Structures are given as structure tokens and as C-alpha cells.
Structure 1
Amino acid sequence: MEQVRTLMSVPPIVVQCGDDRDGEYEQMVSAAAPLRRIPTDERSVLSVNYTSGTTGKPKGVMYSHRGAYLQALAMVGHTGLSPSGVYLWTLPMFHCNGWCFPWAVTAAAATHVCLRRVDPAEVWRLIRSQGVTHLNGAPTVLSMIAYAAEADTVTGTPVRIATGGAPPSPAILRRMTTLGFDVTHLYGLTETYGPAAICDWRPEWDGLDMAARARMKARQGVANMISCDIRVLADDGGDVIADGETIGEIALRGNNVMLGYLHDAAGTAAAAPDGWFRTGDLGVRHTDGYIELRDRSKDVIISGGENIASVEVEQVIMEHPAVLDVAVIGVPDPQWGEVPAAHVTLKPGHQVSADDIIEHVRACIARFKAPKHVIFGELPKTSTGKTQKYVLRERAWHGREKRVQ
């Protein structure tokens, strides 16, 4: 770190944290004069955020002052932050600049409550002792909270929790609801300052049963207030029919789309050839205008010419009462080219066989979509809680060439 600081014309102040030094930061803030710097160009680069590399080589995503400012205000509006809010940091601040919530919480004059790491026991202690009103995190974080030994129903006003990074299963959404959390599903990428879409709740859904409400919450939703309408593109470049069935690629545009990739003009042009950023995510548009992801383009399993969406299989497996987490990938098969394989993490104290998982899937969806292999154990994760499917794929395909069908 010191080597990097010596190369900078204006090196940042470094504050070392630790159990015996936690007061240092507060002392420095108290002694400092107010700082106000206004950019001369609102579209100049504010920060560079690197993608996590879950689907390839990390890329430097350039954020502008304007984009971050507007995204922060959008998050204030969509999540109901206010001066009485208490925001618990279960989401890493380094990931998409914490979805712009460092600025959003501050803009709303709400209270930041920080964690060194996601510790479910500490999360529950702080929810109770600090009166936490808001927190965010990937579905993995929701599972850690929901199935912690300390988990208990939140009394009073529900804690508002936003989740994104992967489609949450209806099972975890139901569990969080019963514990007293109000879950909102967000969708976005590093390239979109975090959440570009939000599954805004509609009053007419209040009368649905819990299972149906969870299915609605699991959708990715509609564009946030500073984004253009989300498009779902067909192969010919037009928009797919809004029938909830026809699949296309999600494309985004608006104030919260990156300036581009650092030192990569070709990559920037390829990502947004016509001004619409291609996400690489496949989804459908429902008749009410809400989008729903079906899979990432590279996660679709093509088995004997049939397309199998890994997300669909994962959500069915998550319905099994013994399952805590799951990732479904395609693995080599001499007859079909590739077949689904499920990597499953069980809840503590639960036991289940591979055949039980397979039969559970067969009972819920088309039998050919059921995994042919089930592997039990911990899933590889990024520092933000996303499952690294590429690691699982590399293990499965090592030394073998994936056949294109």
C-alpha cells in the first residue's frame, strides 16, 4: 500500500483499524474541517470499479459523478431511506461502490452501522440492539441470516432488505418474510452502478397467497427511476413479445450505465454497440411489463439439443427443506454433450441423498431438466457472496472441450 501511495500526487489518508484503534477514525473526523469539492465536469470519472470476474477477466468499470449521484438518490427513493433509518452494512462497500448506498444513506441523513465481515450472529445482535431498519445483500447473505441459530422473528416494523447479484429463490423469500423482513429484489451489474431494476411491489398482489407473492418478488421487475425502460432483445435486435415465455437478452440504458471500460474502447463498443448495454442475461417480459431472468447466456445447459435454464433447476432444488444453497452447471456427457449437475450445500443437521434431490426435481418440472449428478459440499464464492460457477465448470471440463450443439 505504501508503495502505491508514493506514486500518487495526492495520496489518501490511511486509517488503520483494529480492536485497539477503532477510535482513531472518529477522532480524525471530529477534528477535520468540512470538505466540499465540486467536479468541473459531472461526467468525469468518479471511481473505477472492477467486475468480480465470475464470468471472465475482471474489467475496470468507470463511474461518473452524475451517474453515482443520481443512482444514490434513486436508492433513497426506492428503499425509503430517511433520517430515522439505520442501515447495516452486510453488503461490501467495494462492490459497485456498495450499490451507491454509501452516498444514499448519507444523503438521507440515516445512520451507518458497519461490519468487518458478515457474521450472522453479529447481524442479529445489531438488528436488535441498533434498531436496524435497512440492509442489503446477495441471496447467500439472506440464507446466512435466515438459517442462523440466532434467527428469530423481527418484532415491530419489518426490516427492509434489498437483495441482488443472483435470482433469490421463492423459498428464501418466504423464509425471510416469516421472520419479519420486507424483501425487495433488485437487479443490475457493476456496469450499471448496481441496481438498474427493482421489483416494485404492486397493491393488487397483496391478496395472493405466500407462495404466489414469493414468485412475484423473485422477478427482477422494472427500471429504476433514473434508468430508461428495460428492453428484452430478440435475435433480430427487436423486442420480444411480452408474454412471459419468449426469451431474449436484457439490455439497459440510462443515467446509471457506465462511462465505459478503463483502457478498453473495443470492449466498451462491444458491450453497448448501439447505446444499449448488453447484459449477457437472458430473460422474459411479462404482460405487466416486469422482466424475469431465466439465466445467463453462458449458464444455459444444452443437453441433446434441449435448452435447460440452470436458474429454473436451482429454484426447484432450493424448495427442498434440507437445501441451504445450490449451483447447477452443465457437465460433460458422452451421449448428450452435457447434462445438468447440482452442487448442493445442506442446512446444518440435515441429511439427504442425491436420489432424493433428483426425484424432488423430477416431481416439479420436466424430468429431462433434473440433474444427472448431485455433489454435496460448500460452493466457491466471491468476496461479495456470488457463487463462482466458472470454478465449478473448470473442474468439470478440465482437459475436455465443450461441444457446441
Structure 2
Amino acid sequence: MEELKPRPANLSPLTPLGFLERAATVYGDCPSIAYDDTTYTWSQTHRRCLQVASSISSLGIKRGHVVSVLSPNVPAMYELHFAVPMAGAILNTINVRLDARMVSILLLHSESKLVFVDCLSRSLVNEALAFFPPHVQPPLLILITDNEVPPTPSSSAVHFYDTYEGVVEKGDPEFKWVRPDSEWEPMVLNYTSGTTSSPKGVVHCHRGLFIAALNALLDWSVSNQPVFLWTLPMFHSNGWSFPWGMAAVGGTNVCLRRFDAPIIYRLIERHGVSRMCAAPVVLNILSNSPTNQPLRNPVHILTAGAPPAASILLRAESLGFVVSHGYGMTETSCVVLSCAWKPQWNRFPASERARLKARQGVRTIGMTEVDVVDTESGASVKRDGSTLGEIVLRGACLMLGYFKDPEGTAKCLRETGWFYTGDVGVMHPDGYLEIKDRSKDVIISGGENLSSVEVESMLYTHPAVNEVAVVARPDEFWGETPCAFVSLREEGSTPNPTEKEIMEFCRAKLPHYMVPKTVVFKDDLPKTSTGKIQKFVLKEIARAMGSSRTSRM
């Protein structure tokens, strides 16, 4: 067999963009997108994506340029997951919950050439561009309009080159989309939580996203033509790769602009929804809603982020939701650990089933290996369910690295062949993994990762603050919320602030989900002999305080 070798016919680069072409052929007359009273078929979505890709190219966007999107889950957001890379560009979806300062930092860091802006984010982009240095050319802007949103006078001073539908109309439906020369070419750029001075831009390639999309479908046992409700923001790690996955199986993408329980239940009933992805906080909202009622047909929910409480799982499943639990990060592009269910577990009491389901589980098919290791030696920890170690991964769904950050890339993608996640967990005797803590002190609130360091940095700007440390406090609604421990200056020209005043100070400078929901004043924060604040001590105090029981942010 020595004469056998790879040839052009079997070296075609893997890319999930090809899923759309196939969907247009196989499911051409079937619904692809449903949004209020608008419905598209897969042949229409294919044509619209080609037209947008054509228009993007005509604007001078070249292979490797970054195109950003600020939008909720509306049809344009879905289409741009195909149209942008079909033009050869790199897709960058931005969290619409960020403040203007952070949006400007991400646009500058990514060197974005073109930004698609939802109509309700016009003022946000206007404020973000005001932060641009005078010598920096701002990106071209395209406005995503929406018939479901009443037109309002815009105070925006920025100029929009065109509307999204205008871009569609002007594009060529016969456009030959830009296929990657290599499957390792970058396709998306996503930003994780981080400090403003060092944003972490995660880059994924065509090959990785191709495997991630199929991995997600296979692990969750998704059959052809599901009805998928987009409760998970597509700006959140590209919706865990399901925008491309739904094209692979010809699913119906039910889009919605905003989320609340009555809307979800209405859409489930109207469209016959069979699949949803959501953070644990969404499970809590759905199970506690006064409008909830047992579902006519089961709805499968994939949840990830902070481990869902057993009580939430029990309530959700009593209504007819079938909950699957997994683990992923922006760096993995999809769920790469899942609590694969064993039939014999069905015989256990409900409380024990919920406890088992709350674990993160085992590697998915698309991953090669997963382990929990001693950070110093790199050796596997004991499989006893109690010995802590760092979670490490190896597989095709992992990122290429961090944009403009070779040091950060080398720190987590090590020469040992492992990706070091920075998350702390244990390995149980049955081979199932469970997360116990976040070594980087990332707080997961409502499925959003937020950096405690960034909150602390802002609090240090308060004139009365001496020292501060921010940790996670349990919250029965959001999973976790920020809890700030603050020591004040002994002498000051202004009266000592109250808890409410500290929160208001934060709210004026941070996105609301990052604002501490609890402020604890202490004369002195616990420290090591070298003067480092002992966050683990504060975490125990926050846990002992119990749930903060917030109802909204």
C-alpha cells in the first residue's frame, strides 16, 4: 500500500458551509427559518446567503478580513453565519449586552472592516465608535432593519452604508462563494470574557467547525428536520455550532428577538419545537413561570455553563423537558463533554438521577481525549471523585489559538499536546468528570462568563475603595452572581459609600450582568503571607451566605 497517498479528489478542505448547499438540494422546499410571520425555505436561505456574500465581496472585503455582527437571534444573524465566510471573510459575532467601551475595544482589536448592526443597537455602535482614536478608520456599517420593531427616531450620528435587505437585493444569487484553500483557514473570531487590556479573541478554522457541528448533532442524537428554537444567543460561541448543524439536518430555525417564558411556551406550541439550547437560568425561568404547563410533546433541551441545580432539573423534566447537560467553552466551539445517560440510571430515584445529570460527563465523539491532571506534574489525578485537578482536552474541535496573543496561546495549547482549560474538576470512579471550580475566577451568570478581574479593576477606580475582591455567590435564578468584598480607605474626603451606592457606581460603568448583586464591607480582606488576597476564603463566605435570590439584573 505504499503507493497509496492523498490526492486532490480526497483532499477537499472540510467546511460546514457546504451543509447549506446540500440543504438547498435535499430540503429546498422545507422551512429553514421562522420568525414571527416571516418564513424562508432552505432554497431561499441558500440564495439569500449567496447574495449577501456577493455584496460583501463587492464592498472590498477580502479573504481574511474580519466582519462583525451585533444582533440578537433574527434571520439576518443566522444567514450571516454562512454569508460572511462564504465571502472569504472571518465572522465575528459580538455580545449585544456589552457596553460601548467594550464593543469599541473588540472592534479595534479585531480590525473589523464591516459591521452589521441590529436596529436596536444603533446607539450602542454610535457610542462605541466615539471611543475610536481619530487616526483609525471606522468600519463600514450595515443596518439590520426589522418589521417587527417599530421605527424610532435615531440619535445616532454614524452613517449606515445600506440596510441588510438592500445588501440582499443587490447581491448576485449565482455568486461563486469563496471556498477555503485550506481547511485550517480561520472562519470565526469570538471573544471570551477578559480584561479590557487583553481581550481574548478565539479563532476557529473551517475544519474544526465542520467537526464541531457534526459532533454536536451526533452527541445530542439530533435526527433530520428538527424544529430548533433559538433561545441560545448566536453571538454566544456561534450558538454552540448549531447554526451550521441545523443546515446539515435540514432543521427549522425558529428565531426570536427577545426571551421570556410566555413567548417560549407560545412558540413551542405554535411551531412544534423539538429542540432548544439554553443556560441553566433559562431552565429556571421556564420551570418557575406562572404560565408554565405540561408540554404536549417532549422538548429536548441541551444546557451548559454553570452546573444546573438538581431541583431545577426536576422541575423542568416534570413539565416534559428532556434535559441533557454538557460542558464547552468558546475555545472548544461546541459541547465537548456531555453527561451521556446510562439506561440503568433510569431505575434510580429522581433526586439521584438529577445529581448524576448535573455532572459534566464524558468526552463527545468529536474529541480525542479528556483528563483531569495535576497542574504541576501533568499526571492524571485519582478517579475518586474528590481529588482536584485541571481539566485538559485534546481533539479537533479546539481553537487554532488566540488572535494576536501568542503567549496566551502557548500557555493553554501546550507542547504536551493538551489544551489546558483553566477549569478545576474531579474524575469519578465511573470515568465521568465533574467541574468543581474555576481556577481563573470566571463567574458564570445566566450563561454569560464574566471576569472578576474586570469588575475589580473598575471598582478600584472608586475613590473610597481600598481593596476589593469579586467572587461568585450562588443564585437560584442566575446560577451565580458577582459578590464584591470591599475594604474602604480609612480617611477620605467623602462619606463612606453604601452597598447601593457601590452598585450604582458599577452600573454606570459596566454591563448590568457584571454589576455585583452583593457588596460586603470588610475592614481587612484575608491575605497570604505574600499579600495576595485569598479568594478561596471569600468564596466560602459567599457560599455560606446562600442564594442571593435575585429575580432580575
TM over 0.5: yes
CA 1:237/1:72 → structure 2, altered by over 3 Å: closer, same or farther? same
Aligned to 1:369: none
Kindly tell me the number of residue pairs found equivalent between the two proteins: 338
Q: What TM-score, normalized by structure 2, do the two folds share?
A: 0.54
CA 1:283/1:324 → structure 2, altered by over 3 Å: closer, same or farther? closer
Aligned to 1:247: 388
CA contact (8 A) 2:360 2:434 kept: yes
Corresponding position: 1:292 with 2:440: no
Matches within 5 A, 1:240-319: 240-273=381-414, 274-299=416-441, 314=474, 318=476
Amino acid in the other structure paired with 2:326 = L
Aligned to 1:355: none
- Alpha-carbon RMSD across the aligned residues, in angstroms, is 3.9
Q: Tell me the distance in 2 between the aligned counterparts of 1:39 and 1:72.
A: 17
How far off its partner does 1:45 sit? 0.3
Aligned to 1:403: 527
How far off its partner does 1:282 sit? 0.9
CA contact (8 A) 1:247 1:284 kept: yes
Corresponding position: 1:206 with 2:346: yes
How far off its partner does 1:127 sit? 0.5
SS of match in other structure, 2:222: coil
Matches within 5 A, 1:5-24: 8-9=61-62, 14=142, 16-19=144-147, 24=165
State which of 79, 102, 107 in structure 1 corresponds to 2:243.
102
Q: Tell me the distance in 1 between the aligned counterparts of 2:209 and 2:226.
A: 21
Aligned to 2:273: 132
CA 1:215/1:333 → structure 2, altered by over 3 Å: closer, same or farther? farther
Aligned to 2:323: 183
Aligned to 1:153: 294
> Larger Cα Rg: Structure 1 or Structure 2?
2
CA 1:197/1:123 → structure 2, altered by over 3 Å: closer, same or farther? same
How far off its partner does 1:324 sit? 7.0
Stretches of structure 1 that go unaligned for 5 or more consecutive residues are: 301-309, 335-376
CA contact (8 A) 1:83 1:111 kept: no
Aligned to 1:119: 260
How far off its partner does 1:20 sit? 5.8
SS of match in other structure, 1:153: coil
Aligned to 2:132: none
Aligned to 1:196: 336
CA contact (8 A) 1:331 1:393 kept: no
Amino acid in the other structure paired with 1:294 = K
Q: Tell me the distance in 2 between the aligned counterparts of 1:161 and 1:229.
A: 25
How far off its partner does 1:132 sit? 0.2
Matches within 5 A, 1:30-69: 32-33=173-174, 36-53=177-194, 57-69=198-210
CA 1:220/1:262 → structure 2, altered by over 3 Å: closer, same or farther? same
CA 1:292/1:76 → structure 2, altered by over 3 Å: closer, same or farther? same
Once the two structures are superposed, what CA deviation does each residue of 1:24-65 show, in whole Å capped at 9, x if it has no partner? 599859993476543110011011011133999531000010
Once the two structures are superposed, what CA deviation does each residue of 1:106-129 show, in whole Å capped at 9, x if it has no partner? 111111000112222111100011
Amino acid in the other structure paired with 2:425 = G
Aligned to 1:368: none
